[in-house]
Structure 1
Amino acid sequence: MQSSVIEMVYTHRHEVIEQWKEEMINIQEGEFTNGAAQAAVTRTNDEFAALIIDTLEMDKEEARLRLRSFSERLMYSGWPLSYFTKGLQLFRRVLLRFMTTNDTIPSSKVFETFQEVENWMDGIVNQLVDEYTGSWEHTLELQKLALKELSAPLIPVFENISVMPLIGTIDTERAKLVMENLLEGIIEHRSQVVLIDITGVPVVDTMVAHHIIQAAEAVRLVGAECILVGIRPEIAQTIVNLGIDLGKFPTKSTLRKGIESGLERTNRQIVNL
């Protein structure tokens, strides 16, 4: 960046930022910050404008670290990336308009100066996009790992009886995880009866039923018995309408009835004292 341009930006820093903040109201009133406290918006705009100008005198590594810290903090606070990219575009327009209307650059240097300002703004935009993207990908991977750990647990409820509660949509990837946890859990807990509870599964279609049948068959092959529980009336009607055959293993309407059936199959029962 030309030293004369840097000097101009710092000399008229206050005027440029004030013009930018006035025009940012149009973005603030849009969809990006609806519901945000005005004090938080004002504080964030002040910090963002100061950071933009300060990057002029930072080396690439320092600017990268400052932008990363700024973007990560605001991303986790719920600020959309589009708010800042639009803000940067607006800052560029305000700065170039200020430079041309106040005759702060000679006519022979106009194109060169505009190109330098474009490169400066583009560098910040690219850095923010990279940081937002990287942070979201990292967060998404952590969430996926957490969901995998919690999405299909096999829970021992009585000796030799375990329950696997399923919640949410069952796709092919999750069905593989269900199968792995099911078989490993049967061996670990020495389960003789496994209850697969589909109370929390919103839709049971042909694919979901196929995955459940495969899981039940795998349970049988390792020497245990599978009982499908949590079949609501609407699910039962869907299964019948689709012509799905679940006759290979027992089914119960509730988890309680499934546990009672499991106890009977292991020669036990619940009695009142």
Structure 2
Amino acid sequence: MDRHLREIVINQSDVIVKMWLEEIETLKQANYTSNISDELFESTNEEFVGVIFESIKEQGSMKYVENFSEKIIQLGWPLSYITDGLQVFRRMTIEYILSQTEKVDSTYFSNVLTSVDKWVEPIIRQLVNEYTGNWENIVSLQRLALQELSAPLIPVLDGITIMPLVGTVDTERAKLIMENLLEGVIKHNSEVVLIDITGVPVVDTMVAHHIIQAAEAVHLIGASCILVGIRPEIAQTIVNLGIDLEKFPTKSSLQKGFLSALKYTNRKILNVEDKVEAIEKMIESLKGGDK
């Protein structure tokens, strides 16, 4: 029976494909593909239904399915496009097979359902597995990239580095901050690290505890920490919570923190005019000494 039904479907593939394409077109809005150009949508639909028929002809072969799933992922199309397409194919195929028989009993109907499910379910399983597997890999890579950007340590001068923090600091991110701080301080031979929390929306007891731990760890390897970006509301929260930040300096802005870091490293900023004037006086002094 299965072989007989498969021959009916393959021999009448043109009719079923036409029915399928018409139905899929009506689902363009529902499965979030409405923003895709008509030309690309039509060509992909034709390829999709071709993949389905090739898989039915070559039972057990999933090479067409694998290639197609990779294409859909690269295009960034939703998973609903795949699942909707296969459900429509199942329904259209069953309806067509039943329409070719004048008398349909329960046994024949059951055989049709079983046969079509036998063709379609492996394709659904393979496409969904391929799609979700690739997306999980993409999400994993994106998570790693975000982690690398979530706690950067930026060298600005010899001995001075800055770690700008943006967003919420949770336990997982706090560990990353600690690791990046310690590795960065050694890598850049830092004497002073500025931890900028201007972009941290909330500083509670847990966040402050993580920052203090990071500062203490940096101190143990011979560097100093300055906490900058203490906004008025953050300062009030810290006081109300009774958080002790006296162990390391704090500044209201990155600019003030940077000036403090210059003092820590025995540097200072001079205006160009003042520097030129000082050099001229030194030259005049040397000339006077020669006389």
TM-score, scaled to structure 2: 0.85
Determine whether 1:81 maps to 2:79: yes
Aligned equivalent of 1:205? 204
Measured in 1, the distance between the counterparts of 2:112 and 2:211 equals 66
Cα deviation 1:60-85 (Å, max 9, x = unaligned): 3x42x322221122123221111211
Instruction: Supply the AA of the counterpart residue of 1:200.
Output: G
Measured in 2, the distance between the counterparts of 1:80 and 1:7 equals 32
Distance 1:6 1:198, change over 3 A: same
Determine whether 1:176 maps to 2:196: no
Contact 2:31 2:84 in 1 (8 A): no
Contact 1:68 1:128 in 2 (8 A): yes
Contact 2:202 2:234 in 1 (8 A): yes
SS at match of 2:48: helix
Aligned equivalent of 2:235? 236
Aligned equivalent of 2:48? 48
Aligned equivalent of 2:148? 149
Measured in 2, the distance between the counterparts of 1:85 and 1:104 equals 31
Determine whether 1:66 maps to 2:90: no
Measured in 2, the distance between the counterparts of 1:86 and 1:18 equals 16
Measured in 2, the distance between the counterparts of 1:233 and 1:104 equals 82
Measured in 1, the distance between the counterparts of 2:102 and 2:82 equals 27
Determine whether 1:270 maps to 2:269: yes
Measured in 2, the distance between the counterparts of 1:38 and 1:245 equals 62
Aligned equivalent of 2:287? none
Of residues 229-238 and 41-50 in structure 1, the stretch that sits farther from structure 2 once superposed is: 229-238
Aligned equivalent of 1:117? 116
Aligned equivalent of 2:91? 93
Instruction: Quote how far apart the aligned CAs of 1:154 are.
Output: 1.9
Instruction: Quote how far apart the aligned CAs of 1:96 are.
Output: 0.3
Instruction: Quote how far apart the aligned CAs of 1:105 are.
Output: 9.4
Asked which structure has the greater CA Rg, the reply is 2
Instruction: Supply the AA of the counterpart residue of 1:215.
Output: A
Of residues 13-22 and 109-118 in structure 1, the stretch that sits farther from structure 2 once superposed is: 109-118
SS at match of 2:243: coil
Determine whether 1:260 maps to 2:249: no
Contact 1:164 1:195 in 2 (8 A): yes
SS at match of 2:101: coil
Measured in 2, the distance between the counterparts of 1:241 and 1:78 equals 48
Measured in 1, the distance between the counterparts of 2:41 and 2:103 equals 33
Of residues 118-127 and 224-233 in structure 1, the stretch that sits farther from structure 2 once superposed is: 224-233
SS at match of 2:271: coil
Instruction: Quote how far apart the aligned CAs of 1:109 are.
Output: 4.3
Measured in 1, the distance between the counterparts of 2:148 and 2:187 equals 16
Instruction: Quote how far apart the aligned CAs of 1:31 are.
Output: 4.9
Contact 1:230 1:254 in 2 (8 A): yes
Contact 1:8 1:104 in 2 (8 A): no
- What percentage of residue pairs aligned between the two structures are identical? 53
Cα deviation 1:74-132 (Å, max 9, x = unaligned): 12322111121122111101110110012199755442332121121111111111011
Aligned equivalent of 2:275? none
Aligned equivalent of 1:249? 248
Cα deviation 1:169-197 (Å, max 9, x = unaligned): 22211211111111122222221111011
**Gaps in structure 2 of 5+ consecutive residues:** 273-291
Aligned equivalent of 2:3? 3
Aligned residues: 271
Aligned equivalent of 1:192? 191
Measured in 1, the distance between the counterparts of 2:251 and 2:10 equals 74
Measured in 1, the distance between the counterparts of 2:93 and 2:102 equals 11
Cα deviation 1:121-171 (Å, max 9, x = unaligned): 111111111011110111122122222333322222112111112223222
Contact 2:31 2:78 in 1 (8 A): no
Aligned equivalent of 2:12? 12
Instruction: Supply the AA of the counterpart residue of 1:96.
Output: I
Measured in 2, the distance between the counterparts of 1:236 and 1:87 equals 57
Contact 1:162 1:195 in 2 (8 A): yes
